[in-house]
Amino acid sequence: MSFLLTTLTKKREVDSIIRETIDKVLVLRFGRSSDAICLQLDDILSKSARDVSKFANIALVDIDSEDIEVYVKYFDITLIPSTVFFFNAHHMKMDSGTADNTKWIGAFHRKQDFIDVVEAIYRGAMKGKLIAFNRILAVAE
């Protein structure tokens, strides 16, 4: 199902989508299309894309592309899949009860878990907050 989502392989593509996504949450999944857990997450993201389309855009970022390495280092992507959120070009953080508030590591268990996270980030962003809290995040791990 990942073929339904935009895949970014160049730094300028990532830069562009971050800059151009206005008044919506931008969800960037960093990973590999050959990884089983990434494929599981991609399936959830694909199924959720329509449900969140009014307040979020979703794109996949191929970490094997040399041009993307700057983002892999910047966001400290050591485990895949890792999902990073933006709103109006600002990196959105989330309190999921773990030490790392900069990204979600691993797959979401259910479609609704992902939708709830994106909604919480969107609500927080609309209030001017750069960090969001969602109880489902704390329970899901």
Residue for token digits 């599981």?
40
Rounded to whole angstroms, the Cα distance separating 49 from 135 reads: 22
Instruction: Assess contact for 92 and 135: CB atoms under 8 A.
Output: no
In CATH, what number is assigned to the domain containing residue 10? 3.40.30.10
The per-residue b/e assignment along 43-70, b for 16 or more CB within 10 angstroms, e otherwise, is ebbbebbeebeebbbbbbbbbebeebee
Distance of CA 24 to the CA centre of its chain: 12
What's residue 36's pLDDT? 95
Tokens (6 digits) for 24 = 């919506």
Each residue's pLDDT, cut to its tens digit, for the chain (141 residues) gives 456 899 999 999 999 999 999 999 999 999 998 999 999 999 999 999 999 999 999 999 999 998 999 999 999 999 999 999 999 999 998 876 666 678 888 889 999 999 999 999 999 999 988 877 765 544 444
Q: How many residues does the chain have?
A: 141
Tokens (6 digits) for 68 = 């993307």
Q: What is the count of structural domains for the chain?
A: 1
Q: How do residues 119-130 score in pLDDT, each as one tens digit?
A: 999 999 999 888
Q: What is the domain range of residue 98?
A: 2-140
What's residue 139's pLDDT? 42
Q: How do residues 70-93 score in pLDDT, each as one tens digit?
A: 999 999 999 999 999 999 999 998
Rounded to whole angstroms, the Cα distance separating 140 from 129 reads: 23
